[in-house]
Amino acid sequence: MLNNSITDSEGDNSLGIKEQIFKYLRQWKWFLLSVFLFLFLAKLYLRYSIPEYKSQTTLLIKRDESGGMASELAAFEDLGLFSGPKKDIDDEMEVLKSRSLIAKTIKEGKFNVSYVLEGRIKSSESYKENPIDVDFKEKTEKFFEKDTTLSIKILSSKKFELFNANNSRIGDFNFGQVISSKELGDYVVNINHENAKDINYKISVKLESLKNATNKFKSKFQVATITKFTNVLEISFTDPVKEKSEDFLDKLVVIYNNDAIIDKNLISEKTAQFINDRLAIITNELDGVEKDVEKYKNKNNITDLPAEAELYLKNSSESNKEEIIVGTQLKVVGIMIDFMRKNNNDDIIPANIVPEDNNSSTLIAEYNNLVIERNRVLKSSTLENPIVIRVNDKINFLKSSISESLNKLKSSLIIKNNAIINQGNIVGGRISQIPRQEREFRGIFRQQQIKEELYLYLFKKREETAITLAATAPISKVVDYAYSSDIPISPKGSLIFLVSLIIGLLIPFSIIYLLDLLDTKVKNRHDLDAKLTIPFIGDVPHSDDNNEIMQSGSRTSSAEAIRIVRTNLEFVLSNIETNDKAKTIFLTSTLPKEGKTFITINLAATIAISGKKVLLIGMDIRNPKLDEYVKLPARGLTNFLSTKDSDIKDFIVNQKGYENFDILPAGAIPPNPAELLMSKKVEAMFEQLKSEYDYIVVDTAPVSLVTDTLLISKNADAFIYVVRANYLEKASLRIPELLYKENKLPNMCVLLNDTDNVAGYGYGYYQEKAKQPWYKKIFNFSFFG
């Protein structure tokens, strides 16, 4: 039993999945129509939408920091004043995305002015190949502050008609004529004859405010690094006009580099100006110091203090030496004078001790020779010798001459010695002043050296700054100039068609799912199995002819389904003991209009066709419906029950076309239907009729409205409870379930009527419907019918 339950559960799940899939597949026409519609709308969208193209340029941000601020500040690095900063790639990305740079590019490139060629369905922007060109010569302050539009209608090759933003006519003008405007200033409209081939068409010249244009361009502008560890930036811009995007990117990069160069040159120029100012000050100071040196040297009669000091020291040394020599010579001369004074004529005068003096030395030598000659003569003669006398006279004369010569030499040596002393005193005085002069001069000289070194340093840096200023390199290098892809990034055709296809499938799917989710009606057997424990006898599909009565040759899906119900009914009745009496089958439903009467009359007809004698009784006496299917008399069951001594056979009629098919009409609608059905004549009637027929099929009233069916249920052998698909609320299934559990309706089973599923019935033998034209087939269906 457990295995059978598992198998049944798996089979139910499989059937449930198939039912869900089939629920969508059978609405394939709606899916097809929805997909076709959305694909068509996608085609129209792509046809009339303005494509957006992506343009991009690649920029290398340099890190070497050559030139500019870093190099100029580096001019003072050896003084320890500044150090060079490192470039941050993120900072440059923010500079490139800045509003100021974008706004400057828009102004210089005139990207806030666009020329639009008006079309019947869509308008397109013209760039570079404009039929006209508007030259704004003198712009007012409001030119970049307000959005405005000028419409120009070309009348001829010489004239045009001008309209303002409100499409109000301003007037006719000649091409090249200066037009004055309070808001725009003076401007001239020129015609490009090569591009203006047609006339009598309008061109809109749209001027955006700088603020709005900057916002729009910034929203389309992106800057990103190629990889995480690189200095290469990819700058992209999207716009309907590829050439405009490329020009904008190239212009922006040029302005970016120019601004960077200007920033670098600004520092260089400031540095050069600073150096020039300092050079002027240092030059004046240096001139003052040099004049102080000149004055000091003039005042102290010096040219080169160290050289003069050395010379003074040398002169002082030589003077001391001369003073010693002259002093010695004076002493020698004094000794000689004393010697000459004490000497007699017999002594030899010392020679070679007298300072170099030619006269005295000669006289002494001559004197000594005479003394030696006289002494030699005296050895052989006397003093009276005339020779000796003459010689003595000469000796005396020479002695007197030598004394006089020595006295003169002494006087000259004294003069010379005094002069040396005086000169030594002078040199000594100058030497004593040298330390003071050197100290004073060094103070002045030190200032001169500082000024000279600073002057030379600044002069050198000025030349370096001038070279740097002349050779300032851009901050970036263009790796790839702006280029655009031929494939638009928006709208993407493949993506639009894919999304349209998905939406085309999703909308009918969502509608079906939503309607199914919101629909609380019974749809199929699975809904019954989920709510009921009542045995299921079968389902009958929708019939196009609601008044159809089965014939022996009927091959419709409904006829085949009722035949299956008849077969299943035989299994239900096979376990019921009727004692060779008629098998009584009651049919009821929850609500009216569930097809109970349709099932009843066709089930009875099906049994009758099989050769069984069948009686159909209409016991829905409050709302009889049998006369809608067959032609019946007005008298019937109610008339029989309300009269005495009447025969039931007088009210039974035979259905034409059937040999064994009789019908007992409901009769006139009584004022007291419940009382009539509670009468003993009802039970007696069934006892009588059961013995005369093989099957009695009874059409009863809906159980949720009245109690008529419950009052006569004891006369039934089996109950078929009809549930109409897409009609009965699922919540109402609790009524038949309660009746089944309380066993108020004997041998109860449920039948599902008016289902959508026709597969499996007839096995191809049912009657084919008349073929419909294709356009009727498309529209002759609904989501749930």
Q: pLDDT tens digits, residue range 276-324?
A: 887 888 788 778 777 777 776 777 766 665 666 666 566 666 767 776 7
Lowest mean pLDDT among 125-134, 253-262, 415-424, 674-683: 415-424
Going from the C-alpha of 364 to that of each of 131, 151, 399, 463, the distances in angstroms are 134, 139, 8, 82
The DSSP letter of residue 729 is: B
Q: Give the pLDDT of residue 604.
A: 94
Torsional class of 200: left (φ above 0), alpha (ψ -120 to 50), beta (otherwise): left
Identify the pLDDT of residue 1: 39
Between 187 and 373, the higher pLDDT residue: 187
Burial letters for 506-532: b for 16+ Cβ neighbours within 10 Å, e otherwise?
A: ebbeeebeeeeeeeeebbbbebbbebb
pLDDT value, residue 185: 86
Which pairing describes strands 695-699 and 583-589: parallel, antiparallel, or unpaired?
parallel
pLDDT score of 266 more than 80: no
Binned at pLDDT 50, 70 and 90, residue 101 comes out as very high
Average pLDDT, the chain: 81
Beta-sheet pairing, 169-174 with 159-163: antiparallel
Say yes or no to pLDDT of 67 above 50: no
Q: Specify the pLDDT at position 435.
A: 67
* Cα separations in angstroms, 54 against 237, 238, 256, 444, 693: 6, 4, 21, 73, 89
Give the residue from 703, 694, 427 showing the smallest Cα distance to 587. 703
For residues 500 and 366, the model is more confident at 500
Mean pLDDT of 605-626: 93
Q: What is the pLDDT of residue 308?
A: 63
What pLDDT score does 436 carry?
62
**Contact assessment for residue 188 and residue 139, using Cβ atoms and an 8 Å cutoff:** no
Where do we find the tokens 């709302």?
Answer: 623
Task: Please report which confidence band the pLDDT of residue 499 belongs to, taking 50, 70 and 90 as the band edges.
Answer: very high
d(Cα 216, Cα 147) in Å, to the nearest integer?
13
Estimate the share of the chain in helix, then strand, then coil, as percent rounded to the nearest 5: 50, 15, 30
**Is the predicted pLDDT of residue 781 greater than 50, yes or no?**
no
* pLDDT reported for residue 197: 65
In the chain, % of residues over pLDDT 70: 82
Please report the pLDDT score of residue 123 as a whole number: 77
For 621-636, write each residue's pLDDT tens digit: 999 999 888 999 999 9
Q: What are phi and psi of 500, to 5 degrees?
A: -60, -40
Q: Are 103 and 214 in contact (CB under 8 A)?
A: yes
In angstroms, the CA 269 to CA 272 distance is 5
| Most confident listed range (153-157, 460-464, 776-780) | 153-157
pLDDT at residue 501 is higher than 70: yes
Pairing state of beta strands 695-699 and 614-618? parallel
Q: Report the alpha-carbon distance of residue 490 to residue 492 in Å, rounded.
A: 5
State yes or no: pLDDT of 596 exceeds 80.
Answer: yes
Question: Long-range contacts for 318-326 (Cβ within 8 Å, ≥24 apart)?
Answer: 319/420, 319/423, 319/424, 319/427, 320/424, 322/420, 323/417, 323/420, 323/421, 323/424, 326/413, 326/416, 326/417, 326/420
Pick from 344-348, 399-403, 429-433, 777-781: least confident: 777-781
Asked if residue 2 has pLDDT above 50, the reply is no
Nearest to 248 by CA among 109, 98, 446, 81: 109
Q: Which string of b and e fits 656-674 if b means at least 16 CB within 10 Å?
A: eebebbbbbbbbeebeebe
Is the pLDDT at 330 greater than 60? The verdict is yes
Nearest CA among 602, 597, 595, 598 for reference residue 552: 602
Tell whether the model's pLDDT for residue 472 goes beyond 60.
yes
Mean pLDDT, to the nearest integer, of 33-54? 91
What's the one-letter identity of residue 710?
L
C-alpha distance from residue 701 to each of 96, 535, 576, 594, 653 (Å): 85, 21, 24, 11, 21
CA 697 → CA 27, 338, 502, 572, distances in Å? 38, 201, 53, 15
**Phi and psi, residue 700, nearest 5°:** -110, 175
d(Cα 37, Cα 508) in Å, to the nearest integer?
A: 12
Report yes or no: 476 and 61 within 8 Å, Cβ to Cβ: yes
Secondary structure of residue 725 in the 3-state scheme: coil
Residue 236, pLDDT score: 94
pLDDT of residue 249: 94
Which tokens in the block code for residue 141? 């302050």
Q: Pairing state of beta strands 614-618 and 113-117?
A: unpaired
Q: Looking at residue 359, what is its pLDDT?
A: 72
Q: How far apart are the first and last CA of the chain?
A: 39
Amino acid found at 399? K
Dump pLDDT digits (tens) for 731-756.
999 999 999 999 999 999 999 999 87
Which neighbouring-strand residues pair with 536? 750
Is 576 a residue whose pLDDT tops 50?
A: yes
Q: Which residue has the tokens 């009722």?
A: 562
Which one-letter amino acid corresponds to residue 582? Answer: A
What pLDDT was estimated at residue 430? 60
Q: What tokens does 275 get?
A: 């150096």
Q: What is the pLDDT of residues 199-255, one digit of tens each?
A: 667 888 999 999 999 999 999 999 999 887 788 999 999 999 999 999 999 999 999
Alpha-carbon distance of 36 to 504, in angstroms, equals: 8
Nearest residue to 114 via CA among 274, 225, 239: 239
Rounded percentage of the chain residues whose pLDDT exceeds 90: 35
* 43-47, 214-218, 449-453, 556-560: least confidently modelled range: 449-453
Q: What is the mean pLDDT of residues 507-524?
A: 88
Q: Determine the pLDDT at residue 427.
A: 64
Residue 508: pLDDT over 90: yes
Helix/strand/coil for 784: coil
pLDDT surpassing 80 at residue 785 = no
pLDDT score, position 342 = 74
Rounded Cα distance between 170 and 733, Å, is 79
Instruction: Please identify which residue in the block is written with the tokens 């000279």.
Output: 452
